[in-house]
Amino acid sequence: MSILQIGAVLLIVLFMLLGSGIWVAISLLGVGFIALKVFTGTPVDMVLGTSVWGSISSWSLAPLPLFVWMGEILFHSRLSEDMFAGLAPWLGRLPGRLLHVNVLGSGIFAAVSGSSAATCATIGRMSYPELKKRGYFERMIIGTLAGSGTLGLLIPPSIMLIVYGVSAEVSIARLFIAGVLPGALLVVLFMSYVMLWSLLNRDKTPPPEPSMTLTEKLRGSGRLIPVILLIAAVIGSIYAGLATPTEAAAVGVAGSLLLSALTGTLTWATFRDGLRAATRTSCMIGFILAGASVLTVAMGYTGLPSGLAQWIASMHLPVYALLAALMVLFLILGCFLDGISVVVLTTSVVLPMVQAAHIDLLWFGIFLVIAVEMAQVTPPVGFNLFVLQGLTGRDILAIAAASVPFFLILLGAAAIITAFPEIAVWLPTTMSHG
């Protein structure tokens, strides 16, 4: 069989396993197993043991469970309430008024949490009922929540960037810093869209809140200061090279425990629940990474990724065409798979192709994560849609429809960082250690 035929067979097997409801991690393991057994002559048990052990016992994976835990602790704290009370007084004068709470709140929470659905749920839990009560247009409330919730994946700390960094062997510290400016760009784009929309739909924006004095505003925002400090400590220390991502994550865990102790939300029950949920989520991700490591090794033995890379290189595609094709592929995969699976499949199969096209792997990580962000708001499988379905009781298709403008903005952002890659790769070059 030729390499491409082998690839086609494995791909069909993978989608059969995934489609029939076999857990993603076990499907990846299964395809890797079959590839090793049928297409290579290696001792499968040895390869399986070493590749799984090597991928999961890695020091570079340590920030993942810690950042997941940090997000869990803050998710159970009063942050949701504080965010609304702290941001709302300042945004009443902008066109679109309190809708900006969703965008900015998500941006801030994204800087302490690495997950999109957690960001969406934390901000939405408080702001959805509040905004609805005040008479904001529901489609926009839902759209802003779904769209800006995805910032959790891009703005550091980001679970998705850790997964990419570990499996593509790119520095996680540099990936984190590379995500900062594209994340800020998205916040600006989302807010601009909200302003533009409200200027065009003045009748759909409720009147401003009664004005508050500066002292009152500052008092409302005071409770956000510890969170801002925590963000500065975590991201700042990575940027300045004072701490590795793992150390920053451990400090972040300690800081968020302190924060929830100070606001009185830290009890034995919340501590235990947060730790339990974090253990479960990291286990789920770690198991997928373990399955993906078997697939990656098996792929290496079959020579499929390098074969694909040569095939693509022989076509002399312009880089833009290749990226456009990959974006389409990511979006199709993203309709059916969760983001982590899309990332690990990409790194197992597509990465040599990307390298052969001389695309910077640091930049590609950001591009890939923006594609995964879009997948969070596309039905039938989009985690932000699921979260908002639970929160609002609306039909998933209605929520997806409300998210369409934000989906298009994400696509635009991917185009912008393709045209101006410096937005992603410039900031990491200014780091003192990398």
Site residues for another protein, window 372-411 (CB under 8 A)? 380-381, 383, 386-387, 390
Report if residue 286 touches another protein, rule: CB under 8 A.
yes
Q: What are the C-alpha distances in Å from 6 to residues 18, 30, 197, 300?
A: 18, 15, 50, 13
CB hemisphere CA count around 66 (13 angstroms): 20
Candidate list 11, 222, 241, 276; residue touching another protein; CB under 8 A: 276
Closest distance to another protein from the beta carbon of 136 (Å): 23
Where on the phi/psi map is residue 205: left (φ > 0), alpha (ψ -120 to 50), or beta? beta
Report if residue 277 touches another protein, rule: CB under 8 A.
yes
Subset of 139-168 contacting another protein (CB under 8 A): 159
CB 79 within 8 A of CB 224: no
CB hemisphere CA count around 277 (13 angstroms): 16
Candidate list 2, 5, 21, 203; residue touching another protein; CB under 8 A: 21
Report if residue 288 touches another protein, rule: CB under 8 A.
yes
Candidate list 35, 36, 69, 362; residue touching another protein; CB under 8 A: 69
Q: Which one, 182 or 245, has the nearer CB to another protein?
A: 245
Subset of 223-252 contacting another protein (CB under 8 A): 243, 246-247, 249-251
> Which one of 55-63, 96-104, 222-230, 351-359 is the stretch in contact with another protein (CB under 8 A)?
55-63
Report if residue 203 touches another protein, rule: CB under 8 A.
no
Report if residue 287 touches another protein, rule: CB under 8 A.
yes
> Which one of 11-19, 100-108, 225-233, 317-325 is the stretch in contact with another protein (CB under 8 A)?
11-19
Tell me, residue by residue from 304 to 343, as one string, x for binding to another protein by CB under 8 A and - for no binding.
--------------------------------xxx-xx--
Q: Which one, 115 or 198, has the nearer CB to another protein?
A: 115
Report if residue 253 touches another protein, rule: CB under 8 A.
yes
Report if residue 275 touches another protein, rule: CB under 8 A.
yes
CA dist., res. 334 & res. 48, Å (int): 28
CA dist., res. 411 & res. 398, Å (int): 20
Q: Which one, 102 or 281, has the nearer CB to another protein?
A: 281
Q: Which one, 121 or 145, has the nearer CB to another protein?
A: 121
CA dist., res. 160 & res. 337, Å (int): 14
Q: Which one, 52 or 353, has the nearer CB to another protein?
A: 52
Q: Which one, 111 or 117, has the nearer CB to another protein?
A: 117
Of how many residues is the chain composed? 434
CA dist., res. 288 & res. 308, Å (int): 23
Candidate list 10, 14, 29, 145; residue touching another protein; CB under 8 A: 29
Tell me, residue by residue from 101 to 140, as one string, x for binding to another protein by CB under 8 A and - for no binding.
--------------xxxx--x-------------------
Q: Which one, 61 or 323, has the nearer CB to another protein?
A: 61
Report if residue 26 touches another protein, rule: CB under 8 A.
yes
Report if residue 22 touches another protein, rule: CB under 8 A.
yes
Report if residue 45 touches another protein, rule: CB under 8 A.
yes
